[in-house]
Structure 1
Amino acid sequence: MRISEFRITRFQFRRDRVIGDSQVHIAEANYGALELIADDGTVGLGFFHALFHPLPDIGEIERLFGVEVWPRIEGEAPAAIANRITKPRGGNNRRTTLPFEEAVNQAAWDLLAKSLGLPLWRVLGGVDRKVRAYASGLDFHLSDAHFTALFIEAAGQGYGGFKIKVGHPDVEWDLHRLGLLKDAIGGRGAVMVDSNEAWTPKEALRRLDIYRRAGFEILWVEDPCPRDDFDGLREIRAGAPWVHVNSGEYLDLHGKRLLLEARGVDILNVHGHVSDVMRAGWLAAEHDVAVSLGNSTLEIGVHMAAALPEVNWLEYSFQNYNHLVEEPVVIRDGYAYAPERPGHGLVLSAEARRTHATPDLVAYDALPPAVESAPFAYRNGSDPA
């Protein structure tokens, strides 16, 4: 099996809610689906996206991929791409103009697993496809009513963990949200908070102490201070031993290694690059540190989560993009299930390619209404009763 063609589909659509945190506000989704096609017709799928600005028109995306990536993978075996290691130094060590790296890696692993007739989680060494999932709201910009409706629904679906955004300049706002969450979930389940680097180490310790004295038990605080303040993260670990520090999502593999060596983290956060996640999981195991699988496009990370014994939780954020694939990852009663199908099990939907693809950049005001795939009452813009 050799890689012989590529196909890219561009998607741009309104989200069914504004997602974000104390730092960012995101109202639209911008995804690219990369399909690597082998000489026997087998297709491997990977995803790339832009958070803050639309992707360029499809012609420019294809041109950039053809210049920057295609010459290095055309005619190669998928295993050679999936397992390739390059020098982490030199003038040619730089990111592609668009974030193609993760998509190529995902598509290559998809092809490799399909060539073996195995689901990806089995190829990676997993023995149990079931992973505990937590409900993550990406909720900083939601009204109280929308926030409450989201987590009532999540609790009703059986989730046993719930993560909310904090980091408002007014700590009373944070406490109010924690109170709303407690009421919404009936006081049951693990609670995580994520400030997205809003605090200094001292402010983080102050906030965590206030939460605790107010009666809120927190399992972990995510990214409480800047990602590369390893001394500060270690200070928070020492100063608030009743809370786990979760960090690392914004760091590359080199940065994750430095974070682990600095003992600045209790739970290492990883995402959707298959090879790097597995390497990071190995490093975390060497340091006796747990791993959490953060958001990955269409929950493709469930395969790595199922293969890494250090993973205790997988993040699920109710993002309305399941319409892009034929069969999304199943999440039931608070657990995500890695597909049994060969490869990673995600196949780009023919209907999505036909009706939702946007080859040309579209102004936000001209985008059609959001695809209503989320079950929450706020999806149509009106506050729930």
Structure 2
Amino acid sequence: MTSTQPQPSAPAPLAATPDRISGLSLALVYLPLASPISDAKVLTGRQKPLTQVAVLFARIRTEGGHEGLGFSYAKRAGGPGLYAHAHEIAPELVGEDPSDIGRLWDKLVWAGASVGRSGLATQAIAAFDVALWDLKARRAGLPLAKLLGAHRDAVSCYNTSGGFLSTPLESVLSNVDAARERGIGGIKIKVGQPDAHADLERVAAVREHLGDGFPLMVDANQQWDRPAALRIGRKLERFDLTWIEEPLDAYDAEGHAALAATLDTPIATGEMLTSAAEHWNLIRQGASDFVQPDAPRVGGITPFLRIMALADHSGLSLAPHFAMELHLHLAAAYPRTTWVEHFEWLEPLFNERLELRDGRMLVPARPGLGLSLSEQTAAWTAEEATF
């Protein structure tokens, strides 16, 4: 008697959809900053001051008349690369069902498989992925946070833009006052100068100005080695910091884990990572108390949600990096402690403004991300294409 092994069945055809992607458009925009910005990477000679941000916008349109807006970004370098890769893979979306976001993310990754599943390749995909989620929420008539399943209608927020090392201490203190008057709930300042004593004096001045108990964070932007991070971290303990951010190289999971296990002050890191897999490496080694993914950098909302699930499973807090207009919605959908970073840099690109109240940023009631591009954005557009 002959037996046969069951043969794998063919994938079931996708159900019919009432809507399809009819077209999309791309734009590469260079957003100028009011003044050059420097953190520790500039003071240590590793980078030049930041003068502009390159933003990649994607608009996705459907046959049913729906539209979604998404974006990604690059600082100092990478804008033309993001645009070129997005331009090459954009036609893959035409004719597809916009609701199949996970499948479309995979399709775009495989379209550029030879250039990898992290870094610039997925950062270009992020603009499409965010646009698809925005479209889905708009079509449902819900803010993105509500579509994802919000745990709160407002998120604790802290300001970073007023505390760069290129800003004199007197101006930092004035910025602190202005931020608190606006309704900011925490202050982060940059550290990591070649002279650690200058850092400690700066932190001491800000802590005295804020008073005890007001949330204060510091960010070293990867500029310490392991011995320096431990030594300075111990000296920072007396300032009752909410966290110390990026004390070591972004990929030094082992070093961050040792600091997190040794210091009383929580460790935050992750903003420079460009995939869910890289974040899992940090999370599984206990390298941070606050996970800091950046949705445009990791490839969009789809991989960001995977990172959120890993962080939640590990009992960690969440503090997404930059792009508050997007991360507010994601942070609102996280069940544990979360912060959103207040950076007003991207505000000129949009007509809408986020509301601050009593130390928290309010989730807007508008559908999707609740964003529309300002007229000024057109003047800053360097390249654009329609498919």
SS of residue matched to 1:277: helix
How does 1:250-261 map onto structure 2 within 5 Å? Answer: 250-251=272-273, 252-261=275-284
Matched, 1:282 2:309: yes
Question: Taking structure 1 as reference, are residues 38 and 357 closer, same or farther at Cα in structure 2, changes over 3 Å only?
Answer: farther
Q: Give the match for residue 266 of structure 1.
A: 289
Distance of 2:148 and 2:230 partners within structure 1: 38
> What is the match of residue 29 of structure 1?
53
Aligned-partner Cα distance in 1 for 2:325–2:333:
14
**Residue 16 of structure 1 aligns to which amino acid in structure 2?**
A
The correspondence for 2:99, drawn from 63, 70, 79, is: 79
SS at match of 1:131: strand
Alpha-carbon separation, structure 1, partners of 2:122 and 2:333: 29
Aligned length: 350
Letter in 1 for 2:241: I
Distance 1:279 1:311 in 2: 17
Superposition pairs of residues 1-385 of structure 1, within 5 angstroms: 1-24=19-42, 25-53=49-77, 55-56=79-80, 64-67=85-88, 69-82=89-102, 84=104, 86=106, 91=114, 93-94=116-117, 99-137=123-161, 139-212=164-237, 215-240=238-263, 242-251=264-273, 252-272=275-295, 273-296=300-323, 298-319=324-345, 321-349=346-374, 351-354=375-378, 356-359=379-382
How far apart are residue 288 of structure 1 and its match? 1.4
Distance verdict in 2 for CA 1:258–1:54, change over 3 Å: closer
Alpha-carbon contact 2:21-2:94 (below 8 Å) kept:
yes
Q: Structure 2 CA distance, aligned partners of 1:50 and 1:116?
A: 31
CA distance in structure 1 between the partners assigned to 2:158 and 2:124 by the alignment? 28
Measured on the aligned residues, the alpha-carbon RMSD in Å equals 2.5
Q: Which amino acid aligns with 1:17?
A: S
- The amino acid of 1:308's aligned partner reads Y
Which structure 2 residue ranges, 5 or more long, are not aligned? Answer: 1-18, 43-48
Structure 1 pair 93/29, CA: closer, same or farther in 2 (3 Å)? closer
Shift of 1:176: 2.2
Amino acid at match of 2:86: F
Of structures 1 and 2, the larger Rg is shown by 2
Alpha-carbon distance, 1:341 to partner: 1.4
Distance 1:85 1:15, change over 3 A: closer
Going from structure 1 to structure 2, the CA distance change for 1:200 and 1:325 (only over 3 Å counts) comes to same
**Partners of 2:157 and 2:360 within 8 A in 1:** yes
More helix by share: 2
Name the TM-score, length of structure 2 as normaliser. 0.83
Q: Secondary structure at the match of 1:259?
A: helix
Whether the aligned pair in 1 keeps the contact of 2:21 and 2:95 (CA below 8 Å) is yes
How far apart, in 2, do the equivalents of 1:64 and 1:318 lie? 28
Cα offset, 1:360, TM superposition: 6.1
CA contact (8 A) 1:79 1:108 kept: yes
Displacement after TM superposition at 1:326 (Å): 2.0
Deviates further, 192-201 or 98-107: 98-107
* 2:367 aligned partner, one-letter code: P
**AA partner of residue 58 (structure 2):** L
Residues 171-221 of structure 1: CA deviation (Å, up to 9, x unaligned) = 111022113322443445111111111112221110022223xx4221211
User: When the two structures are superposed, what TM-score results if normalisation uses the length of structure 1?
Assistant: 0.83
Unaligned runs of 5+ in 1: 362-385
